[in-house]
Structure 1
Amino acid sequence: MLSTQAVSEMYGRELVDLRKESRWEFLNMLFSVSEAVAYMQMVDRLDEGAISADVGPLDYKGLYKAVGNALFRAHVEGQLKSEIMSKPELFIEPDPELPLALLDQKEAGKRLLLIANSDYHYTDKMMQHSFNRFLPNDMDWRELFDMVIVSARKPEFFQMSHPMYEVVTGEGLMRPCVKARPGGLYSGGSAQMVENSLDIHGDEILYVGDHIYTDVSQSKVHLRWRTALICRELEEEYNALIRGGGHRATLIELINQKEVVGDHFNQLRLAMQRRTKGRPAQTLAATHMDDKDLTESIQKLLIVMQRLDQKIAPMLEADGEHFNRRYADIYTSRVSNFLHYRPFMYFRSQEQTLAHDSYSSYHPKLSKSPGSL
């Protein structure tokens, strides 16, 4: 990784508009990680001349498209999902509390929906493996949800209206339908259909997802649904906050010291400026100083501030690496965290604070009050 100083020296004030630069690609979901790794490995092979001539002449952009097409085919043609379904235990990290958290919500009167881009067979296989063994009384995962929608085609699901089909057999056979009903299993459709079928809309819905664009951004922008982003990195951030308590206390103390020294320095500097202009007005800190003492004090304080900056800058950079930008209304690392709250809890984001605000700005930015999601 380049340091902040190295980035500044290389790029200076160069502005990059990612919306107009065709040489940039957004890697904004976990599936993109494998795409990026595969591409990096193939770049090395291209540079070494190890890619067969049968593939054709490729530059870096063409190579990226070739890698993307290969992964797309593996995904769409079912190769990837077939391998996952054959051995789900290799790919799924079980969370016994997740089904129980949803069961609490359902028994508290919430209506739960599952909206998945995957087809029925893959969704059913993954949900059976992840949920059924942790549910009580031989309960099936379908019994948790008031409605299940597969092949949803998000993010188009939030913006457009696609044909809707009801899945009527365990083999996945479907028939066209016009209106969804609670308890049904459907393929396609739209978010508007969900609102109409359940007679709810807007901020009555909390949409929980793990993709900033496909899930959180589109449902919020187009429908005004409230959003919760599942971000597993929050667990690392939380642990970093706990471990970094002493580090942060030291950082705040250094910042406070610099504020005191800086205020004293600025008073002396202002006094020097006024004396240079022949004005008698003095600042409190310089009232009893002659010109020589004033000059020496300014120089000493400048050295003190520079030394404080040398300590503060790397500590601020390290502290900032614990946090990511936020896009949703609320954030949690996994759905099962809801199990630790009463299902009647209403969550809302706190008012945002700035870097120079009080120590409370380091507290988790999530508050709660009685009510209903």
Structure 2
Amino acid sequence: MHASLPCKHDWLENFDVVITGSAKPSFFHEENRTNIFQVDPESGMLLNTNNGVFLPQIGTTLLESSSKDKKIGKVFQGGNVAHLHKLLGIAASSQVLYVGDHIYGDILRSKKVLGWRTMLVVPELEKEVKLLWESRNTRKELRSLRKERDLVEDQIHHLNWSFKFEDPDDHQKRELSFQLKDLECKRDYVRLQHQQLMKEFHQKFHKVWGQLMKTGFQNSRFAHQVERFACLYTSQVTNLALYSPNKYYRPSEDFMPHEFDILGI
């Protein structure tokens, strides 16, 4: 913004309370004794408060203080979570949906310490979701190759056990050896196909790390933290505008490994 232009504060109308200089993560601890000050948006001056309640300042009349309070009564600096609850009239922690973009500084602490509802903003999701949609056929092919590899390996294990426990004659041994060799060649071919396709798939997301939420086929540590501490996650907070404020967000269904094939997942 150019220094000669007047500073507008229209955006303050969109908020009930604005707190600056909160010094997270200590802000989330009620034992934090940091004082809370009101801020004059026009001058940037800090004004004393009585735990968030406006105090008449020295050198002003009560009428002047009351008029000023209406103008700047929603902008504060410092304080702790107890001040925020008081200013917003919050009776229970579950009434708060806290939106942040840092899994430790925002989501983890506010969830574990305060019991707030949480939403993590992950901007990278927009690109990832787009790539996942474009690569959905590749993912199906990868699952197919994994199943084929597992099937061939099961057949190899069965033949090895036949050699060891069924005491086949020489002719049967030769037949089993040929079958075993063919299966091992097939396994190596399928494994190589799978590795090459998997590498191409991951490099679409990032040349080194692959998908944000995956480590190979397993969820990454970051993904586990998101599942555990974020009630919701999205690519940008404005996505909430697509839904009613009264919408109830239900968790997705969990599945055990034995359900995958039965349900065709």
Q: Normalized against structure 1, the TM-score is what?
A: 0.51
> Which residue in 2 is equivalent to 1:150?
20
Q: Is the 8 A contact 1:330 1:348 kept in 2?
A: no
Structure with larger Rg? 2
- The separation in 1 between residues aligned to 2:129 and 2:211, in whole angstroms, is 8
- The separation in 2 between residues aligned to 1:317 and 1:86, in whole angstroms, is 49
> Which residue in 2 is equivalent to 1:206?
97
Deviations 1:299-336 (A, max 9, x none): 21111111111111233344452333332332111111
Q: Secondary structure at the match of 2:248?
A: strand
Match for residue 309 of structure 1 among 174, 188, 191: 191
Q: How many pairs align?
A: 217
Match for residue 175 of structure 2 among 289, 293, 296: 293
Instruction: Answer yes or no: is 1:270 the counterpart of 2:161.
Output: yes
Deviations 1:148-174 (A, max 9, x none): 111111112113331101124521222
Instruction: Answer yes or no: is 1:167 the counterpart of 2:39.
Output: yes
Amino acid of the structure 2 residue aligned with 1:184:
K
> Which residue in 1 is equivalent to 2:244?
342
> Which residue in 1 is equivalent to 2:135?
244
- The separation in 2 between residues aligned to 1:176 and 1:315, in whole angstroms, is 63
Q: Secondary structure at the match of 1:269?
A: helix
CA spacing shift, 1:307–1:161, aligned 2, 3 Å: farther
Q: How is 1:94-113 mapped onto 2 (pairs within 5 angstroms)?
A: none
Deviations 1:158-199 (A, max 9, x none): 133311011245212222223337x62211111132224423
Deviation at 1:357, TM superposition (A): 7.8
Amino acid of the structure 2 residue aligned with 1:173:
M
Q: How is 1:1-373 mapped onto 2 (pairs within 5 angstroms)?
A: 85-86=1-2, 140-159=10-29, 160-168=32-40, 170-180=42-52, 184-197=74-87, 198-275=89-166, 290-320=172-202, 321-324=210-213, 325-326=222-223, 327=226, 328-350=230-252, 358=260
Q: Aligned Cα RMSD in Å?
A: 3.2
Deviations 1:336-373 (A, max 9, x none): 111222222223543566899849xxx9xxxxxxxxxx
- The separation in 2 between residues aligned to 1:241 and 1:215, in whole angstroms, is 27
- The separation in 2 between residues aligned to 1:259 and 1:220, in whole angstroms, is 41
CA spacing shift, 1:235–1:173, aligned 2, 3 Å: same
Q: Secondary structure at the match of 2:24?
A: coil
Deviations 1:100-137 (A, max 9, x none): xxxxxxxxxxxxxxxxxxxxxxxxx6xx6xxx8xxxxx
- The separation in 2 between residues aligned to 1:353 and 1:316, in whole angstroms, is 24
Identity of aligned residues (%): 27
> Which residue in 2 is equivalent to 1:43?
none
Q: Normalized against structure 2, the TM-score is what?
A: 0.70
Q: Is the 8 A contact 2:37 2:52 kept in 1?
A: no
- The separation in 1 between residues aligned to 2:41 and 2:131, in whole angstroms, is 49
Amino acid of the structure 1 residue aligned with 2:107:
V
Deviation at 1:206, TM superposition (A): 1.3
Q: Is the 8 A contact 1:329 1:348 kept in 2?
A: no
Q: Secondary structure at the match of 2:212?
A: coil
Unmatched tracts of structure 2, length 5 or more: 54-72, 203-209, 214-221
Bigger shift: residues 340-349 or 316-325: 316-325
- The separation in 1 between residues aligned to 2:260 and 2:123, in whole angstroms, is 27
Amino acid of the structure 2 residue aligned with 1:192:
A
